[in-house]
Structure formats: structure tokens, C-alpha cells
Amino acid sequence: MPEPNVRDRRVQRTQRLLQDSLRALLQQKPFDEIVVLDITEAANVNRATFYDHYADKLDLFNALIAADFRQLLQLRNVCFDGTCASGLGAILLAVGDFLEQLHNARRQCTRHSATGPLIDAAITLAIRKILLDGLTTSH
């Protein structure tokens, strides 16, 4: 799922391709063994296109986690507009479920890596953006 404020379908498609490629690669090898060339080859895009969308593979990883978390919130019809505390509570419950899903998926993977701190940082960034966007739209 591409960034929520991107309207150009070509940009959305490219972001989705890159995120899906990273997701697939993470099933095959640890994050620290993946290089941008692996991602671009899997997505069938060139390196310049990658860097048009993301600063580096960590930026792509953060976008992937944020997109997956936003998708979970959409499935649950959860939003935060800064006016209702129940929206915040629903987001916190979703965080717990999301992290549990990621943990279970990592447990099934045969090759483990130290992505735990990266996931924590990425979900923190995603929550911060959701809350700030909610507070901004409520004023």
C-alpha cells in the first residue's frame, strides 16, 4: 500500500512494487543481507526509480511497516481525528495485534534477523504520523 496522500497511480504502483519486493525478500533472508539492488531486481525497476521514492532500504522498510499498519487500521475501520479518545484506544489495541502478527510471521520464517528494533522504530514513526495527521485535521 503506497503512501496515503499519493494520488498518482504510477507512483502508487511503483511504491507497491518496491514494498512487495522487500516483503518477499524478507521471507528469504535477513534485512541486513538485503541490498537495494536485490529490491530493484525483484521489483523490476531501476535504482534511480528506487531513489526517486525512498532514501534507502530503511526508508522503504519504514514505509512498508506503516502501510501494513494503515491497512490493518482500515480493515478495522479505525481512524483518529483528534476529537475522540476511543480512536486512540483502538489504535493502541491495533498496535498490539499488529506486533503480535509480525512476531508470529517472524517465528515461522526459517532465517531470523535482528529486525525487532527496526520494527519498533517503524511502528513508532507510523503511529506518530497517524496521530499528528489526526490532530492537524481536527484544528
Asked if the model's pLDDT at residue 1 lies above 70, the reply is no
- pTM, to two decimals: 0.82
Q: Which of 56, 73, 77 is nearest to 1 (CA)?
A: 73
Assign 3-class secondary structure to 72-108.
Answer: HHHHCCCCCCCCCHHHHHHHHHHHHHHHHHHHHHHHH
Nine cell digits for residue 63? 514505509
Which candidate, 40, 26, 45, places its Cα nearest to that of 113?
26
Taking the C-alpha atoms of residue 82 and residue 27, their distance in angstroms, rounded to an integer, is: 37
pLDDT in tens, 56-90: 999 999 999 999 999 999 998 888 887 777 888 88
pLDDT score recorded for residue 42: 98
Instruction: Compute how many other C-beta atoms are within 10 angstroms of the C-beta atom of residue 18.
Output: 25
Residue whose entry in the numeric block shows the C-alpha cell 476511543: 86
